[in-house]
Structure 1
Amino acid sequence: MPKRARPATPAPLEALRRPLALTRAGMVLERGLRAFWPVLSLAALGFSAAAFRLQDYLPAGWLGAALWAGAAALVIALVWGAWRFRWPAPREAVARLDATLPGRPLTALSDAMVLGGNDAASRALWEAHLARMAARAAGARAVAPAPDLAPRDPFALRLTALTALVLAHLFGAPDRVLDVQAPGVPGSAEAAMGPSWEGWAEPPRYTGKPGLYLNSLDGDLIALPEGSRMAFRFYGPAGAIPFEETVSSPAALPEAETGETLQKREFIVERSGIVEVGGPGGRRFEVTVLADETPSVELVGLAERRADGKLAQPFHAIDDYAVTAGRARVSLDLDAVPRLYGLALAPEPREDLVFDLPLPISGSRADFIETLAEDAARHPWANLPVKLTLEVEDGRGQTGSTGAQAIELPGRRFFDPLASALIEARRDLLWSRENRVRVAQWLRAVSYRPDEFIPKYDIYLMLRMTVQRLETGPLTPEVRDEVAEALWQMAELLEDGGLADALAAMQQAQERLSEAIRNGASKDEIAKLMQELKEATDRYIQMLAERAQPEEGPQFGQQQPSQQITGDQIQQLMDEIQRLMEEGRMAEAQELLDQLARMMENLKVTQGQGGEGNMPGNQSMQDLAETLREQQKLSDDSFRQMQEGFGEGAEPEQPGAGEGEQGQGGTGADELAKRQHSLRQQLGRQQGLMPRLGNEPGDTARQQLDEAGRAMEEAEQALRDGDNGLAIDRQADAIEALREGMRSLGEALAEEAGRQQGNPGTDGERRLGDALGGNSAREAPRDPLGRSLGNGERFGAQDEMLGADDVYRRARDLLDEIRRRSGERLRPEDELDYLRRLLDAF
C-alpha cells in the first residue's frame, strides 16, 4: 500500500476558530428560533395582555383559568420545541462555512494524498494545492443565521405577537405586568396606597396630533384641537378626589362610571376652560381650544371638454388639517335650457349627478389641486346647461362648498349629420317619454329612403327595430334605456366606424400590460400581453387609416396636420418597449408605455416611412415586418433545439442513419425546416407584390430581399441536414438582410412621396414624425457618430458628435452599428480588424 502524505497544516481549521464559532452560534440561534418560536410568540402575547391590564377586566373566576391555560400552552410549546431542537455538530458548522467559499477549501484542507506520496513532484503539487486552499480559507467569514420562519408560520402569528409586544411597550404599562389584581376589584393596590389619578388627552385622529399623558406634563397650559377627548381614572374610594371641568358641553357630559375603587370620567373638549383635579397630587390645567376651521374649495377655471367628451374640472381644496371627503353635484339648470323641439316638454324627474372628488393618494390633503374627470357623455343632460357644486368635508364633519356654478355639462360631440341627429333623438327620448311618437316618426322618415341617408345596412336594420319597439308595447323606463343605448351605438358606428371599440380594446391591452409590469409578471406573460397590445394597436391604426380621407369640420380623435406619426414609428416604439422589458428595465418600459398611451389617445396616423397613409408599399412594409418577426422567432426556436440537443448529450448522427432513425431530434428539425420553407415562400409572394419604385433605394431593397431569400434557402437545407449551427448563421444573415431591405424600402417610399409632392429631396432622406405630436421634418442621413452627410457625401464636421439629448441612446446605437459592420464579411480586413478592436475596447 502506498504511504499517505500528511497535510501540510496539522490543524487546518485552527485559524478559522472564530468564524466557525460564530457560524455555529448562528446555527444554534437559527434552530432555536425554528423550534421555539411558538413559545416566544405565546410569551409575547401573554406579556402584552398583562401590560394592557387585561386582568383588570376579566370577570370573577376567569383570571385563574386564563393563567392556567396560558401556562399549559407554554409548557406544550416548550416540550414541542425541545423535541424538535437539534444541537449543531462542529462538522455541520464546518460544512456550512465551507459551502460559502469557492472550491470548498475547508474540505480540501482536510484531505490527504492516497497515491503519489513518494513522488517529489506529486508532493510539491499537493503542497501547492493545499497552499491555494489555505489562502481561500483565510478569507472565510461567519455565516449569518437564516431562520426562514415563513414556511413554518404561514399565518404570520409570530409577527402578530411581535406587533402586540411593541404596542404594549409603547402604550401599555409594562412595569405593572406582575401587578395582578383580584378579579373584579381593579385598583386595589392604588387604593391601599391612597387616592390617585391618571389623565389622558386624545386629539381627533384626522388631526394627526399625538395623544398626551397629563400626569407627565410639566406645565399647566394645554392647547387641544376642538373635538379632543379627555379621559380620567380615579383610584380610591368614590368621591375621594375632587374633580371639576368647564371645557365640555353640559348637555353632552356623560355620567361617571363608578366602581368600588375605580372611577372613570370621559368628555369631549368643546371650548376653552379649566380642568382641575383636587386632593393630594392634584393638578389644574388651563385648556385652550384650537378652533377647527371649515374647509374650503374653489374651481380652477371652468370645466373642460376632453377629446373623448369627458368632463375635466380642476379644483383647489384647503383645510387646516385634512380634507377627508368631497363630492361634486350636477343639477339641471332648467331655466337656462332652450325649450325647443323635444325639450319643450317638461322633463321627467331625474336625480342629480353625484361624483366623488379625487383626493391625493400620497402627500398632504390640507392644501391640494386635483382634477375631477368623469364621463357624463351618455347622460341626458350632456351638452345642456347645468349647475355644478363642489363640496368638501373635514374629519369633524364640517363642509365647504363652491356654490352653484352655471356650466354646460361636457359631452361627446358628433359631427356626422345622421349621428348627430340620432343623438338628439336619444336626448329627447330620455328627456321625456312623451317624445316617443315624435322620435318614432322621425326615425321612420329617415329609414324610408335608406340609400340617401344611411351608409350601412346594419344601421338601417337597427333603426327599423328601434322604430318597432317605440311604436309597439308600453315604453317602460327599461325599454326606453335600451332604445337609448341602441341609438348611441348607431351614432358611434356612423361617427367612428367602430373606432371607439378598437380604441377601448387598445387601452385595455395597455392597462393590462402596465399592471403586469407593476406586479412582476413572468416573461411569458409579458410576451403574451405585448402581442395582444400589438394586435390591438394594429387594428386601431388600420381603422384610423381607413378613415383618413379629408372631412369637413373637426373630427373626433384627430390632431392638426402637423401632428403626425408614421405606423413604422409606432412599431419601433413598441419594439423598444419589448426590448426594455426583456432586459428587465421595467421602469423605462413603463415610461415608454405611458408615452404610447398618451400619443394614441389623439392620433392621426400615416403608415409607412414616407408618412403618407395612401402611399403604395405600406402593406408591403407591414408584411415584411411580420415576416421579420416570424424569422426571428424561428431562429430562437432553432437555437433552443440545438441547446436541448447538447443538454441531452445526443451523439452526432451517423452518416448512414436513415430518417427513421433520427428520433425526436429529427422530427423537430423537419418541422423547423418546413417553417423556414413557408417563410421563404411568403417572402417570395411579398416581393412580387412590392411596388415598382424607380429609384436607387428601391433597387437596394430588392437586392437585400433577394439576399434574405437565399439565406433562408440555405438555412432550410442546413436544418434538413441536421446542421443547426449553420442554420442559425444563415437565419441571422436572413434577419439582417430583411432589416436592411425594409430600411431601404422605407427610404424609397419616402423619396417617392417627396417626388409626388414636388419636393424630391436628396437620396436617403427620411420623413420623421414626432412621437409626441411635434412637427415632421426632413433630415439628411447621418453617420454612426451623428454627423450629417454633405452633398458631396463627405462627413460634416460642423455638428457635435453626440448632439442628441440622450447620449446613452446614441452610444448604444453607435455600438449596434459597429457590431453590424463587423459582421459583414465582405468589408476589407483592415477595417474589420479596426472594428473588432473597437468592440474589444468598449
Structure 2
Amino acid sequence: MDYKTHLPKGPATRVKRAIRATYAGVLFEHLSAAFWPFFSVLVSLVGLALLGVHEVIPSGLRVFLFMGAAAFLVVTLGHGVWRFRWPAKGEAVARVDATLKGRPLQALSDTPLSGAADPASQAIWAAHLDRMAARAAAARAVAPPPDLPRHDPFGLRLMALTVLGMGLLFGSLDQAKTVAIGRGADQIAMGPVWEGWVKPPAFTGKPTLYLADLNDAFEAPKGSEVTVRLYGDGDSDALSLRETVSGSGESEATDFSVVQSGDIEIDGPTGRLWSVALVPDAPPVAELVDAMTRAASGETRQGFRLSDDFGVARAVMVFERDIDAVTRHYGFVVDPEPRADLAVEVTLPQTGDRTEIEGVFAENFSQHPFAGLPVMVSLRAYDQTGQVSEDAIGEGVLPSRRFFDPLAAALIDVRRELLWNRANASRAAQVLRAVSFQPEDLIDDDAITQRLRDVIAKLEGRGDPMSDALVDEIATDLWEIANLLEDGQLSEALERLRRAQERLQQAMRDGASDEEIARLMQELREATQDYIQQLAEQQGEDESEQPQGETQQMSADQLQQLMDRIQELMEQGRMAEAQQMMDMLNQLLENMRVTQDPNGQGGEGNPSMQGMQDMLREQQDLNDDTFSDLQEQQDQREQGEGQAQADQGENQEGQDGEGADQNGAQGQAQNEQGEDGAADMGDLSDRQRALRRELERQLGNVPSGENAEGIGEALEDAGRAMDDAEQALRENDLAGALDSQAEALEALREGMRQLGDQLAQGQPQEQEGQQGQAGGADGAEERRDPLGRTPGNTGRFGSDEEMAEGEDVYRRAEELLDEIRRRSAEQNRPEEERDYLNRLLDRF
C-alpha cells in the first residue's frame, strides 16, 4: 500500500512537497558530485577571460591554448555525464522518513502479516496507522548534506570561484569579448583597445580608479598618477592620447601626473574625452594655544593645534633667542655669540586621524644655552607633499629648573653668562671665587668643593680663545654641581623619579597597553616612595627650618589615591585628564616638604584620640543596625497582623474550630519570630557590652591636663548611656535602646572635643592649621551630617564648620526641616520612627 492512501488531502500535499524538495536536493547532490570538475574549469576560464589574460599571450600560442581549454571542457563534461546517475524517488522518501520519529512513511506502506480477520487486531492496526499518519504530517524537506569536500579534497572548485570573483571585480566584459572576436582581421570591426588608471597619492587614502568606468567629468587630487595603455597591433595611428593636466602643455605621454585642471582625450574609433577638475591640496595650518608654561620638573609646555585636509606629516617647534628682550647687565652686556636656533620635532600620533591634532609640546631644555632667556617660539607644520604652513609665532622665557639653594642659583647664573659669550670666562672665575671664599659655610661635601675648585682652575687656565669643547665641559660641571647642592642626597632619588615620570608621560603620548601602564605606575610609586624617604631624612637634619606662608597637607594614602586615579584614567584612554593630574602630581612632588607632629600626639596619630574615634565609629554602626532591626521588627508585626485579619475574614462563617487552630498556628509563628529577634537582640547587646568595656579601658588612657576632669565626666556619661542601651537591647526595647545610644554618641563626641582642645594646646601655633585634617581624611568625604558637613578632628559632625557657611545654607536647612515634617506625618511609618522624628522637630 502507498502512504498516500492513509493521509488526508492536506497532509498528503505537504508530504509530497517535502519529498519533491528533498528530491531536488538529492538531484543537485548527484549533479555536483559528477560535474564539479566541468564547473571548475568553466568558471576558471570565464574569470581569466574577464581579466584579459588571453591578451598578454602571444598570438601564435593563443590558438593552442584555446584548443586545450576546449578539449579540457569536453573531457570534464564527458566525465560528468559518465558518472551521473539519476536518483531514485525512494531515496528522497527514505531521507524524509529518516527525519521523522518511527519512520511513519514506511509504516504507512506496510501491511499486517496476520490478524486480518480479527476485529481487535484490525482496530489496533488502524490506531497504529492513524498515529503514523499524524507523525507523517510533520514531514519537512531535507537539505542535501555538504558532501563536495569528499569528492574535491583539494578545494579546486573554491580556487575556480576565486578566479571568477577577481574577474568580476577587476576585469571587464570588453576584455572577455576579445576571446571570441580575436585580434586578427576582426580587429577592424571591433576597433583599437585602450586601458587607463588614475592613482591618487597614497596619503589621500583614496583607491585607484579605472579610467573606463569614470564619467566624462571627474575630480582628481593633485599629484594623482595617470597611466594609459593603447593596444593597436602595430597600427600606431589607430589611437592617440592628448592631455592638458600635467602642466606641460598638450602632451602625448602615456604616464603623467595631475597638477592642474584640464582634459584627457583618447582619439580614435573607441576613444573618449574626460574633463578633469583638480582637487587642490591646501597647505597645513599651525597654531599655538595659550602661552608657554613651565612644568614642575622644569619642562617646557606649549599647547598647539595642527590641521590639514589630508593629514599632517610632521611639525617642528623652533625656539629663537630674542636678544632684544634680554636685560643687558652683568655678563649680558657683551654681545652674544651666534648660536643656531633650537628646532625640535613635535611628537605626533602614530595612528589615527591626523587631519586635526591638538596636543601639548613637552620637552626639558633646562641645560640648553637658551634656558632662562627670552625666546621667540614658532611652530610650522608639513604635509605629505612638502607644503609648509605659516609659522605660528609666540614669545616667552624658555623655562628651566628652579634652584632655591643660593649657591646653586649663583652657579646657574654664571653658567648662563658663560654660554652667552665665552668672553665672560674671567668674570665667571671671579664670581666663583667670591661665592666659594669660605666653602665650609655653604658646602657640606668636600667632593663638591673640590669639583668647584677644578672648574675655577679650568676657567683661569683656559686657552685663548676657549674651545667649544671646554665651554661645554665647564657648563656641564656647573650644572652637575648646582644639582648636587640643590638636591643633596636626593639627586639619585630625584633622577629616578623624573625618569619614571618621563616614561609614563611618553606612554600617555604613545597609547601604551594596560600592562605597560601598570608597570610604569608601579615604577613611579616606588620612585616616589624612595624620594619621599630621602626628603624626610634630609629635612630631618635641619629641624629649625619651617615652611613659610600657607601650606597644604597630603597624606600618603591621598598621594596613593592620586596615582591610582592617574592609572585608571590612562587605562580608560582619557589621556588629557591623566596628563592634568600628572601635572598636579609633579607640582606636589616639586614643592613637597615632609612634616611630622613634633609632639608625637594630636590628630589621628594620638592613641587616645584614635581609640575614641574607633569607638565612636563602632557605636555609630551599632546605632544604625539597631534602627534597621527596629524597622524590620515593625514590618514583621504589621505583616503578621494583616495576615491574621485576612485569615479570620476567610473563616468567619461557621469555622470557629478551624479559626482557633489558625490562631494557634499564627501564635506559634510569632513565637518563632520572637525567638529569632531575641537572637538578634542578644548579638546587639553583646556588641554594646564590648563597647562599654572598651570605654572603660579608654578611661585609663585619658592624658592629664586642664580638661582631664571634663573628659572623664563625658566618658562616664557615655558609659551610663551604654549600660542603659545594653539593658534595653536585652529586653527587646529597640526604641529605648536607640535613645540611650544617641546619648552615648553625644557624650563620646563631647569627650573627643575636649580631648582635641587639650591636645591642641600643647602643639606649636604654626601647626594649628593642621587640626582640620586630623580625624582621618579617608572617611571625611564618605561621612557627612544631614547638612552636608564633614566631621572634624574630634569626630563630632559640624564641630569644625560654621553653620552659616555656604550660599544656600538657609535653603538646605529649610528643605531638611520640610523633609522631617513630611516623614513624621506619614501614618504608615512605624510609631517608634515617627516618635524619633517628632523629637527632632521639638529639638530644632
- Give me the TM-score of the superposition, normalised by structure 2: 0.48
Greater helix share, 1 or 2? 2
Q: Please identify the structure whose Cα radius of gyration is greater.
A: 2
